[in-house]
Amino acid sequence: MLPTTIQAIRSILTADPSVNPGERNRLVTLLRHGPSTEERNTAPVAPVKVCLIRRKEVAERLSVSLRTVDSLAQSGTLHKRTFPGRVRASGFLESEVDDLLTGRISAAMAALVDRRA
């Protein structure tokens, strides 16, 4: 990494009030020299994949109407998610929809279908 890049990162970290000087120095050292042998020996943590899907795709996956998807969201079975800085909901977590499909939340879905019938 170029020294100017490290200097720019240090300046950004200095301007950030949530980073104390000790953390700032540790981060800059880590950028310059890489992780220590102790940090290298730790098992890597798998990143959590967060995938939002639109309500139309949720309806297709569940084989229900868009209105039923909205009812599931209103009842709390599915939770609408938004991106930072946005006002309207952007979609639903794919993991919640998969849980619904595998039957982990089937009681709530059954109650909603019974209510509509």
pLDDT in tens, 16-41: 888 888 888 888 888 888 776 665 66
67-107 pLDDT per residue, tens: 999 998 898 888 888 877 888 877 898 988 888 888 755 55
pLDDT of residue 114: 58
- Which candidate, 54, 59, 53, 50, places its Cα nearest to that of 109? 59
70 located within any domain: yes
For residue 6, the tally of other CB atoms under 10 A from its CB is: 15
Q: Quick one: tokens of 94? A: 């794919």
Q: Is residue 19 domain-shared with residue 59, that is, in the same domain? A: no
pLDDT of residue 57: 93
Cα 10 vs. chain centroid, distance in angstroms? 28
Tell me if the pTM is above 0.75.
no
Q: How many domains does the chain have?
A: 2
- Which candidate, 74, 77, 115, 114, places its Cα nearest to that of 96? 77
Q: Which domain holds residue 98?
A: 52-116
